[in-house]
Structure 1
Amino acid sequence: MTKRLEPEHWEKHLTRLQLRQGGFSKELMYKVKERVEMKQPPISRKRWLRWSPALACVLVLAVGWTQADRLAEGLSKLSKPREKAALEAMDPNKEKTLKVSYFHETTFMMQYGKAFTIRYPNIEVKVATGIGSPPYVGIDRPNLEEQMEKDKPDVLALSLPEYARLAKEGKLYAFDDVIRQEGFDLQNMHSGVVDMLRTEGGGKLYGLAPDYDQLALFYNKELFDKHGISYPKNGMSWEELLQLASRFPSGPNAKDRVYGLAIRAYSGPYDLVLQAGKAKGLNVLDPSGKQVTVNTPEWQKVWTGVLDAARGGYIYEQPPLKELSTREDMYKASPFMTGQAAMTLQSYGFVKELNEASSRYKMSPIPWEVVTEPTDPSRPNESPSFSVGTIYAVNAASENRREAWELVKFINSEEAARKMLTQTVGSYSTPARLPSLSAVKGQEKLVEAFTSLRPPAEPQETPVVPTEFYSAYRQLAVQLSKDVLNGKKTVAQATQELQTSGQQALIQAKNAAQKKPAGAQAPVGSGTP
């Protein structure tokens, strides 16, 4: 055992001296220099901590007063005990099994699971599919906690309402400490996604989402040039968009006809009513979820603007496709892809469809550009269509938190984001990791259109009600919008009937939900029908 060396008399003197004008004597400095140059046995951590303040004083004199603060800061860090790791390091030689709660095994393994197990061959990923349905936006699946208890998953795939509820109940592991300690890169993720998750987590981050959904306005430059119409611009209002669409010829001659705006496939005029209403902060229910609120002057103004445009013939509503239609059939039925519509509101994945239509199916390429979706003039920087995609979180009860965190990190990595961008079609979401988008050469405006807007600073209060209400309400609203277009009803009559019938549908849905036995509850949602 090495004999403990007691400090000499001059060393004790160091601890008593104050650093002041004049500093240490030449004799004392010589002693320090002599001691530093001596061959010493290894110094224990305790002894280093004991004498580090004195040595710091000497070093300060050596490097000069200008470096004193920096040197003192560095030495203080060495003197402090190391912070306990939020998660223990992973043993690469120890085999582990991770269980992921996801609705479809093949989908998850192809998207993330296989690549993760290649990186970590000691970890086996098993997918528990008992949840049965995907985490749709705005939906809270009633069997979620039952399946958590049964399957005991380490990683969960959640919707925003599910994430918020489980975080509040303390059933999710908070990532804040491990993110800070490991320096996980949040700066290059869409700040709106991170902020929304932190807000819904009560100030903490209990999950990460690799993507988000948002609309942008695609337009055909050639059609605008041909008809001498100025291009769309970022930050237009819905009124400006509809006015711009009305400038294109909508006469009876089908050959020369150009639609100003084409509605997305499987959508109709009522969907535009909803989008325009959401941009203005309107909702179909009051915050308590007890009252339908559509028979108002604000909603009537939105209905009038959109349906007048549809009646005027410059909004194209795509008819339903035949069963077993191919992708080629879908593309050739799209007026925007065939050059018959000047504008269309679409998600990020529409770019892949445009490319596939021209490269695979030899359709004439469209000279397209893109700007941000219409916004409300009072909130020009907020996206009314913004929604967070699937959120991946770690079960607070998991015994494999480190491995589970590594999987969540991988899902939200730059590598996974780039893979998502290379997928041909089928993925319509926008990657939340921004450098992957910046890698898309020549598409700077595309990146700007999908990243410059943020989610609403004050999100609409969307009460959670049985999803049966939304399906019944939507059916009513679609039919009433058709009645207005066909001249059978006025907008005032339609919104009044929707208010009355919608209220009845709400009461019926709530009564039906209460009568269902435990374990057979229907999903509840907080979306807009």
Structure 2
Amino acid sequence: MNKLNKSWGYVLASLLVAVPVLAACTDSTESQDKERRTLRIGMLYGSKESESYYRQQMTDMFEVEHGNIDIEFVYGTDYSDMQFATEEERKKQQQQDPQENLRAVMSGDNPVDVVMTDIGSMKKLASDNLLKPLDDYIKQDKMDLSDFLPAVIDTIKAQGEGRIYGLSPTFSSNAIFYNKKLFANAKVEPPRDGMTWNELFALAQSMKSGKDKDAVYGFAFNNYGGGLSMYDAQSTVASFSQMRMFDTTGEKMTVHTKTWADAWSKPIQLYKDKVIPHAEDMQQSASMASSDGSYAYNPYQGNGFIGGKIAMVVGGYYMVNELINFNKNVSKMKNAQALEWDVVSMPQLDSGGSNGVYLGNLASINAKSVNPDDAWAFIKHMNSEEVAKFKARSQGELSVRQKFIQPKDGANYRIEAFTNVKVNTDELGDADQALYRERPNLNLISELGGYLFQEAAEGKKTVDEALAEWDSKGNELLQKIKLNPTGDLSSELQTYRDAAQSGMKNRLRAAAGEAVAIEE
């Protein structure tokens, strides 16, 4: 009995000693939870004027749940500084590397805790060991990623060499919208997932019919305005990084090639054949709709797809809201008819892969953060299921959580068309970005290409002639840019600008019924 009593005595003494220790730990934890702290969020661009939007989108709900944490936004490039800068200061700011400005706020005596980036920036920061991997936090808090869209998580891991350096609650996406009734009337099979651009173009040709007010166009790159740009054509052949305009030194053009000719030729031919509508076609169509004196206001006037004039069109997820809203209110618009529509995924590029899905709202932890646990608490909250319920209501983006990727308002369309493509990580390389910062006038090269593309599209030059002139004039311009990287060289393109402006005015006036001579 004495031994037993003695043993219980030791246990009791241990417990009495442990109680104060446990109490101290509890008090310390509670003190930590109640202590007022500041979480600093670093962003590439921004200003105080736009901060209310950022707070509504990202931090207000977090601050409600974490009343002791204050949010402070820090901008690598502050628009307010540029707004009040002198011309000389503005030129210097334009030559600054935005990524370096962001890195500056990630270091120093008071570094930011959270970094908001896109997928390309996240990759660069992670490769330079400037971000803290989130894998251990995810494992520790048993954060279930199984419901996250695999394409998004796989891409984040691929950019982080197998590790997760950032999470985003949403992504944006493009798809091909098509008019079901037009295809049924034409007895043509509608588009499908996995098509190539050449297959889609062939389908568009088969859907072109009629003329004037009865015209139906097979395809358009946008809802309003019609027309075709160099960047539209380029996006159907290869990624932007593969379609180089000049070499890595910025001294020799690289556009007079078969790759560029292929990128331009097919879309331009469809434009000439009016499979792709011209801007004046859309204006003429809108004018005819009200020429009989029965005009009534229609907020979608000029929208070729909603007006039943275009069989297929590239559109973002925001377009779903437009179509649903149109059909709900169609009875209020004179002569308007409800639209039967659906969507398929963006076509495959000739070079492989596809485009159309973008991650631009990734939250990461700065490796130099003095407050990484609060930073993780914010990222975890931002990507929680509770927040995802609200993000699912977004007008232009989709939740990365699959359970919330559902058709809106009971509409019947293939929501998977927006998820069946890979995340687009195409971007200029570091050397190219540095070259553009050093020589901002290099933007004149793409502007020149745009003018010459339009001349080819309008039949004033062949594709080969336009590319040859871009190559020749571009080489001259590159040398002048090398000598004068930031000065005013606008006069170099004035002739092209004047011709483009004059030609557009004449075409639009002709579409409106005015008698003008259009130079072809």
TM over 0.5: yes
Percent of paired sites with the same residue: 26
CA 1:285/1:140 → structure 2, altered by over 3 Å: closer, same or farther? farther
Pick one of 316, 340, 344 that aligns with 1:371.
Answer: 344
Residue 132 of structure 1: aligned partner: 78
Q: Does 1:297 align with 2:258?
A: yes
- Indicate whether 1:356 and 2:325 are aligned: yes
Specify the code of the residue in structure 2 equivalent to 1:448.
E
- Please give the secondary structure, in 1, of the residue aligned with 2:355: coil
Q: 5+ residue gaps in structure 2?
A: 15-28, 81-96, 284-296, 488-520
Displacement of 1:198: 2.6
Which of 234-243 and 359-368 deviates more?
Answer: 359-368
Q: Deviations over 1:302-345 (max 9, x none)?
A: 21111000110111244799xxxxxx987322100111111101
Corresponding position of 2:373: 402
Matched residue of 1:383: which SS? coil
Note closer, same or farther for the CA distance 1:274–1:366 as it changes in structure 2 (3 Å cut). Answer: same
Between structures 1 and 2, the one with greater helix share: 2
Question: Does the CA-based 8 Å contact 1:294-1:495 persist in structure 2?
Answer: yes
Task: Give 2:237's aligned amino acid.
Answer: G
Structure 2 counterpart of 1:269: 229
User: Partners of 1:236 and 1:489 in 2: how far apart?
Assistant: 31
Equivalent pair of 1:287/1:462 in contact (CA under 8 Å): no
Deviation at 1:287, TM superposition (A): 8.6
Cα pair distance change 1:91/1:162, threshold 3 Å:
same
Corresponding residue number in structure 1 for 2:22 = none
Secondary structure at 2:61 match in 1: helix
**Residue aligning to 1:188:** 147
Within the candidate set 271, 275, 278, 2:238 is matched to 278
Q: Is the 8 A contact 1:279 1:375 kept in 2?
A: no
CA separation in 1, counterparts of 2:377 and 2:59? 12
Aligned to 1:170: 129
- From the CA coordinates, give the structure whose radius of gyration is larger: 1
Give the match's secondary structure for 2:34. coil
Which residue of the partner structure matches residue 34 of structure 1?
none
1:247 aligns to what SS in structure 2? helix
How far is the alpha carbon of 1:130 from its aligned partner? 5.7
Give the secondary-structure state (helix, strand or coil) at the position aligned to 1:352: helix
Distance 1:223 1:397, change over 3 A: same
- Say whether the 8 Å CA contact 1:280–1:376 is kept in structure 2: no
Residue identity in the other structure for 2:60? K
User: Equivalent residues in 2 for 1:514-525 (5 A)?
Assistant: none
- Cα distance between partner residues in 1 of 2:380 and 2:257: 46
* Partner Cα distance (2:240, 2:42) in 1: 37
Q: Name the structure 1 match of 2:55.
A: 109
- Indicate the SS of the match to 2:115: strand
Q: TM-score, normalised by structure 2?
A: 0.70
1:299 Cα deviation after fit = 2.4
Does 2:85 correspond to 1:144? no
Q: Distance in 2 between matches of 1:509 and 1:415?
A: 52
Most deviating of 388-397 and 235-244 = 388-397
**Cα contact 2:241–2:428 (8 A) shared by 1:** no
Q: 1:189 to 1:312 in 2, by over 3 A?
A: same
SS at 1:246 equivalent: helix
Residues paired across the two proteins, number: 422
CA separation of 1:460 and 1:166: change in aligned 2, threshold 3 A: closer
**TM-score between both structures, scaled by the size of structure 1:** 0.69
Residue pair 2:441, 2:485 contacting (<8 A) in 1 also: no
Instruction: Confirm or deny: 8 A CA contact 1:217 1:343 kept in the other structure.
Output: yes
- CA distance in 2 between counterparts of 1:374 and 1:90 reads 56
Q: Structure 1: which 5+ runs fail to align?
A: 6-39, 45-87, 322-327, 516-529
Distance 1:358 1:305, change over 3 A: same
- CA distance in 1 between counterparts of 2:240 and 2:401 reads 28
Within the candidate set 268, 281, 290, 1:307 is matched to 268
Question: Which of 99, 110, 120 is the equivalent residue of 2:66?
Answer: 120
Q: C-alpha displacement at 1:444, in angstroms?
A: 7.3
Q: Distance in 2 between matches of 1:305 and 1:338?
A: 26
